[in-house]
Amino acid sequence: MGKAPVCAAVDWGTTNFRLWLMDVDGSVLAARQSAEGVRACLPDRFATVVEKHLETLHTPADLPVIVAGMAGARGAWQEARYLETPARLDALHEQAVRASRLPRDVAILPGVCQREKGREDVMRGEETQLAGASAQGMRAGVFCLPGTHSKWAWLEGGRLSDFRTFMTGELFALLSEHSVLSEMVAEGEGATSSASFTEAVSEMLASGAGLTGRLFSIRAAALVGSETAPDARARLSGLLIGAEVAAMREVLEVEPRVRLIANGPQAHAYEAALSLAGIQADILDGMDLVRQGLHQAALALWPERSSV
């Protein structure tokens, strides 16, 4: 038993599409991945993209599909309105929207928002990773989810109580591609193990203010031609990640331990920066978590599938 799929789970981000067929125990039976992100997808194409991948996997016509991520944004597949904090992570499915006019059942999970004036914030996709963590017993604590828009999230008793977004990844892209720093940063290796990275993080931790007053030093260091010019790319990365960690350290002082949902070089960079700030990081795999979150929601939505 346990080899029949109970659902197709889809994580649909801005630039990536991922689909898994999962059995009742949460194991992956088959997987698909492509660059058909939400940004590249016209509103009337979402169903076609999913069906194409399901067909490739010879999926039964009645298998339900559960979706998380930007596919639920306004103007994407179908809007799944934001829940508000504090949000019960085991109840995301209760606010799922059903994609209309489809032969099979498709449920799109909502994102979560915060409305407090001056602290407005939104997420789509990360809440499902956090639901997966909560389902695995991590029902409280602080989570760091690096990315284009890095998220820091607080869980309390299985609820997402608060979160905050940092534009770290987007600023890195803007500054390295379109700014007066581009030329320097293009040449750097960006090794987050380098002294340049460590020094930049340490500068930001010593004085969390003044990011905008340090960025230009990357250009100036190249212009004044010092023999030991730092690795510009690593320095930019260090200044931006350092600014993020420095801002969060203020808030975290009583709980200097976070769960870091990341992998590869990004996980190493954040782990190093957190460590410099005296914060211990437990690294988790985001792909695994989002699957668990989707699986939990699917079983709640379609309990009859558990006995397939």
Return the residues of window 141-170 that contact a copy of itself according to CB under 8 A: 149, 164-168, 170
How many residues line the site for a copy of itself (CB under 8 A)? 50
From the list 58, 56, 80, the residue with the least C-alpha distance to 67 is 80
Letters for 209-248 (x = contact with a copy of itself by CB under 8 A, - = none) are: xxxxx-xxx-xxx-xx-x-x-----------x--xx-xxx
For residues 26 and 147, which CB has a smaller minimum distance to a copy of itself in the complex? Answer: 147
For residues 20 and 82, which CB has a smaller minimum distance to a copy of itself in the complex? Answer: 82
For residues 120 and 187, which CB has a smaller minimum distance to a copy of itself in the complex? Answer: 120
Question: Can you tell me which of 22, 41, 106, 175 binds a copy of itself, judged by CB under 8 A?
Answer: 175
For residues 244 and 271, which CB has a smaller minimum distance to a copy of itself in the complex? Answer: 244
CB 125 within 8 A of CB 69: yes
Q: How many CA atoms lie within 13 A of 8 on its CB side?
A: 28
Count other Cβ atoms within 10 Å, centred on residue 65.
23
Minimum gap (Å) between residue 269 Cβ and a copy of itself: 15
Letters for 64-103 (x = contact with a copy of itself by CB under 8 A, - = none) are: ----------x-------x---------------------
Question: Can you tell me which of 250, 253, 254, 303 binds a copy of itself, judged by CB under 8 A?
Answer: 250
Question: Which of these segments, 61-69, 110-118, 279-287, 294-302, binds a copy of itself (CB under 8 A)?
Answer: 110-118
Return the residues of window 115-144 that contact a copy of itself according to CB under 8 A: 115, 117-122
Question: Which of these segments, 35-43, 88-96, 153-161, 205-213, binds a copy of itself (CB under 8 A)?
Answer: 205-213
Under the rule (CB under 8 A), what is the footprint of a copy of itself? 74, 82, 113-115, 117-122, 149, 164-168, 170-171, 174-175, 178-180, 199, 203, 207-213, 215-217, 219-221, 223-224, 226, 228, 240, 243-244, 246-248, 250
